[in-house]
Every structure is written in structure tokens, then in C-alpha cells.
């Protein structure tokens, strides 16, 4: 990805999102991601695109002995450092496509809302398969293919400005999508469902969960949240390596 997260105006916007101010409990996907989290006691965790480090801290609070969070945004990592008081967590300025993925180094690899910035997702799957210990788990949440194939990744609105439907196009043409997020132009990568799931299967992963994120009952009362039932935005995948 380009490093949009380090642009001042983008970062300011990001910093004021509920998930940035309040952490996991304010993230729409957490009520589904949390039950998929491995028991981490005594485990070593790698977080790809760690952002503010919420998942690293959660893992260590649950008993993980080591966590490494990588991210390409120094601003995000500065904030992560500020928020972190736990032992055993390291943050590193490093892209998901640059990390060295040492063989058999990590028991659990997690990635939340970062892989849709990665062009060659198949390569990342191969690296994760290699860096996991036997029976290790890869848990990630990626923007849903129906979302990334959205035309301009936005609704079509009716005359009153209300979302009318979610338009998709060029689904099987994977790759770069220009979109607007938090007032900036952001480049994302569209991957088909086939590329995501067959990509994992081809690397020797066994699929343990494939879930689309839906707002929880409590979140449905928040403004605009009912529209989240109209098209899937995020795809959660839990996969275990067989080796």
C-alpha cells in the first residue's frame, strides 16, 4: 500500500474513529473476531498491520509470551507505543510484504483490516504458512470481496441522499481500486473470494471459520449501522496450517 496512514489529515481522521479512541470494543468486527482468537497462553503472536497495537496487547493480556506488531505507519506505531505498558510486545516499522517471515517462528498470526492493501496476497499466505509453527493458526479480517468490488466502494444514493443499493462491477478483475476513505484517496487491492480461500487451501491451510462481519445487536442502534446489513463489508477467516 501507499502509506496513506502517515498523511497528517488522514491520520487525524483515523485517530478520531471510535475504534481508535476506544479500542477493540468499538470495532464492529470484534464480537466475531474475539471468539475466533486462539487460546494464546504461552504462545508467540505476529500481528500484520498492527496499527495501534490493540490485538498485540489483547494477546499478551490473555497470556501470550511474545507479540510482534508490524506496520508501515510510524504515526500508528508511535500511538501503539504510547498505549502499551505490557511486557513482551515489540513494534516494528515494516510492511507486510517486507517482513522476513522466519520459518516456524510464530504460533499465531493475526491481521485485522490490512490485507486488502496487499497486492500479492498469495505470497503473504505462503510466508505465513512458513512462519507458523505446526498446527499454528492464521486469523484475519479483510475487506469483503463484495465490498472491494464496489463501484468507488460506495453506495448508489437515491434523490434524498439515502443509500439505494451497493453497486459492484469488475469482480473477477482483481487488483488496484482507488477509493475514498476518511477524506483521502486510498488505493486498495481487490481479491476475489476464490483467491482468498483457494489461496489458503493451496498453501496447506485448513479452513476453520469463514464469517462475514455483521453488527452486533447493540451496535444496530447506532446511526447508519442498519445499512451494514445491506452488504457485507468484512470477511473473517480462521485457517490452521497442516504440517
132/44 Cα distance (integer angstroms): 10
Between 25 and 164, name the residue whose CB sits nearer to its own copies: 164
**Grid cell at residue 28:** 464492529
210/232 Cα distance (integer angstroms): 13
- The number of beta carbons lying within 10 Å of the beta carbon of residue 166 is 19
CB of 41 to its own copies, least distance (A): 25
Between 75 and 238, name the residue whose CB sits nearer to its own copies: 238
Coil, helix or strand for 61? Answer: helix
Between 96 and 241, name the residue whose CB sits nearer to its own copies: 241
CB of 177 to its own copies, least distance (A): 14
Buried b (16+ CB within 10 A) or exposed e, 3-33: ebbebeebbeebeeeebbeebbeebbbbbbb
CB of 13 to its own copies, least distance (A): 27
Between 7 and 231, name the residue whose CB sits nearer to its own copies: 231
Between 82 and 135, name the residue whose CB sits nearer to its own copies: 135
Where on the chain is the footprint of its own copies (CB under 8 A)?
146, 149, 151, 156, 164-173, 192-194, 197-198, 201, 206-212, 214, 229-232, 235
CB of 115 to its own copies, least distance (A): 17
CB of 23 to its own copies, least distance (A): 25
43/216 Cα distance (integer angstroms): 29
Amino acid at each position: 500500500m501507499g502509506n496513506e496512514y502517515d498523511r497528517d489529515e488522514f491520520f487525524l481522521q483515523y485517530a478520531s474513529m471510535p475504534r481508535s479512541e476506544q479500542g477493540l470494543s468499538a470495532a464492529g468486527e470484534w464480537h466475531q473476531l474475539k471468539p475466533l482468537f486462539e487460546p494464546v497462553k504461552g504462545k508467540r503472536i505476529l500481528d500484520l498491520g498492527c496499527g495501534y497495537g490493540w490485538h498485540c496487547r489483547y494477546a499478551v493480556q490473555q497470556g501470550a509470551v511474545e507479540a510482534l506488531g508490524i506496520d508501515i505507519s510510524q504515526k500508528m506505531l508511535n500511538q501503539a507505543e504510547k498505549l502499551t505498558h505490557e511486557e513482551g510486545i515489540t513494534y516494528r516499522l515494516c510492511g507486510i510484504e517486507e517482513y522476513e517471515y522466519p520459518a516456524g517462528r510464530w504460533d499465531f498470526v493475526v491481521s485485522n483490516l490490512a490485507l486488502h492493501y496487499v497486492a500479492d496476497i498469495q505470497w503473504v499466505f505462503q510466508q505465513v504458512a512458513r512462519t507458523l509453527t505446526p498446527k499454528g493458526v492464521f486469523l484475519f479480517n479483510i475487506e469483503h470481496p463484495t465490498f472491494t468490488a464496489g463501484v468507488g466502494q460506495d453506495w448508489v444514493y437515491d434523490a434524498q441522499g439515502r443509500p439505494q443499493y451497493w453497486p459492484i462491477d469488475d469482480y473477477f478483475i482483481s487488483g488496484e481500486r482507488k477509493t475514498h476513505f476518511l477524506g483521502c484517496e486510498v488505493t486498495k487491492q481487490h481479491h476475489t473470494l476464490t483467491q482468498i480461500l483457494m489461496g489458503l487451501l493451496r498453501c496447506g491451510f485448513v479452513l476453520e471459520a469463514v464469517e462475514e462481519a455483521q453488527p452486533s445487536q447493540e451496535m444496530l442502534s447506532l446511526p447508519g449501522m442498519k445499512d451494514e446489513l445491506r452488504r457485507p463489508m468484512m470477511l473473517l477467516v480462521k485457517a490452521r496450517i497442516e504440517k
